[in-house]
Amino acid sequence: MSSGTSAVQTPKAFKPRIFSGIQPSGGLTLGNYLGALKRFVEKQDEGIETIYCLVDMHAITTWQDPAKLRHATREGAAAFIAAGIDPKRSILFNQSQVGAHAELGWIFNCVARMGWMSRMTQFKDKAGKNSENVSLGLFAYPALMAADILVYHATMVPVGEDQKQHLELTRDIAIKFNNDYGVSFFPVVEPLIEGAATRVMSLRDGSKKMSKSDPSDQSRINLTDDADAIAQKIRKAKTDPEPLPETAEGLKDRPEAKNLVNIYAALSGQSVAEVVAEYAGAQFGSFKPKLVELAVAKLSPITTEMNRLMADPGEIDRILADGAERADALARPILEQVYDITGMIRSRWR
Ligand code: TYM
């Protein structure tokens, strides 16, 4: 509800800061790598301040076996580092170690509206016909996601296409909070959804997103897959009988063909038009081995490095603890201001 007190002040300038997160609800896929991780590394290397998080509190919105969650969190951290995240230059940590996320998440539960949450397509997809039986956390999930970002006053969020609606909600929460309290406290974040692989599709069904939760392992390439598994999955990937088209427009209405070309483009750093120009008229029988070669060349070093890092879980835990400490130092003062704005007495903390 609007407080109706003072008018919103002109937004103050926020310094560029990137936040993004990945759920450790299973092993990471090629979709996570191309849509998120690879771009996280690019942003770090551009010299922007980058904060990256394994969102374990989000993961438990659906049941997670505790031992598997712990393993997936460490494996996720290993994937970040193996892909090129430098834990000294970026902040890398797991969400539950920084309590400010959950604390601001609660406040945002009181800002976000039931109607907004009910319109979230990801909630509808995940809940399906079972919406009476899913956790309350799954419903409130996007408010915690908004807190993840806004507790750092992050201004830019690199994500895949499927997170667009959640980021629009993050903007709505920031605007409503600012309006309700008559402040210009939270930035209105910018989603960074860029590149050829913002939506990598299942290898078995070009109408479905590649996902770590798909029951078919053949539908995805996992970052833990070895060269043989990658080759076998790409060879078996669904395609159509037509050769590759002369132009990128020719991929329209050919979802499986388009997906493989997009993956090739994202892995090679070329545009889709360049890939199509190179392979115009080629049959998938000759394109797929090229894609296998490229995917193995790009992904195998990451898998090898992940395995090396996973041999020393203590070191991963130390990296996460260090990241959490640095994240906490940024988040705490911002959260304290939120408490102040909302009228909470914080005498214990002063
Ligand atoms: P999650 O864990 O499902 O996915 C992590 C990131 O990977 C991207 N992604 C994909 N990109 C392209 N093609 C695909 N098939 C594909 N599958 C996944 C996602 O878009 C995402 O960028 N809600 C988030 C996690 C989150 C978060 C945040 C993200 C929590 N708090 C704050 C950004 C900022 C999620 O479930 O992502």
CATH number for position 64? 3.40.50.620
* Strand ranges inside the chain, DSSP E: 17-22, 49-54, 91-94, 156-158, 190-192
At 308, which amino acid appears? R
Q: How far is CA 198 from CA 30, 145, 274, 333, in A?
A: 11, 19, 18, 34
Per-residue pLDDT, 130: 85
Q: Are strands 91-94 and 49-54 parallel, antiparallel or unpaired?
A: parallel
SS3 at position 100: helix
Are 160 and 273 within one domain? Answer: no
pLDDT tens, per residue, the chain with 350 residues: 444 344 444 456 899 999 999 999 999 999 999 999 999 999 999 999 999 999 999 999 999 999 999 999 999 999 999 999 999 999 999 999 999 999 999 999 999 999 999 999 999 998 888 889 999 999 999 999 999 999 999 999 999 999 999 999 999 999 999 999 999 999 999 999 999 999 999 999 999 999 998 999 999 999 999 999 999 999 999 999 999 999 999 999 999 999 999 999 999 999 999 999 999 999 999 999 999 999 999 999 999 999 999 999 999 999 999 999 999 999 999 999 999 999 999 999 77
Cβ 153 vs Cβ 166: under 8 Å: no
User: How many A from CA of 163 to the centre of ligand 1?
Assistant: 6
Per-residue pLDDT, 350: 74
- Atom of ligand 1 at shortest range from CA of 159: 22
Closest CA relative to residue 81, chosen from 244, 316, 313: 316
Counting the structural domains of the chain, the total is: 2
Per-residue pLDDT, 94: 99
Query: Which residues are known catalytic residues?
Result: 126, 209, 212
pTM (two decimals): 0.95
Per-residue pLDDT, 122: 92
* Strand ranges inside 31-105, DSSP E: 49-54, 91-94
Buried b / exposed e over 214-228, threshold 16 CB at 10 Å, is beeeebbbbbbbeee
Are 117 and 67 within one domain? Answer: yes
Residue 262: its H or E element: helix 255-268
For residue 261, the enclosing domain spans 217-309
Are 298 and 339 within one domain? Answer: no
Judge whether 210 lies within some domain.
no
Are 187 and 154 within one domain? Answer: yes
Per-residue pLDDT, 11: 55
CB distance 36 to ligand 1 below 6 Å:
yes
Cβ 94 vs Cβ 73: under 8 Å: yes
Are 279 and 190 within one domain? Answer: no
Per-residue pLDDT, 1: 40
Give the residue whose CA is nearest to atom 19 of ligand 1: 160
Residue 167: its H or E element: helix 164-181
Are 157 and 180 within one domain? Answer: yes
Closest CA relative to residue 24, chosen from 39, 37, 43, 38: 37
CA distance 3 to 37: 40
Per-residue pLDDT, 7: 43
- Atom of ligand 1 at shortest range from CA of 166: 23
CB distance 21 to ligand 1 below 6 Å:
yes
Are 302 and 326 within one domain? Answer: no
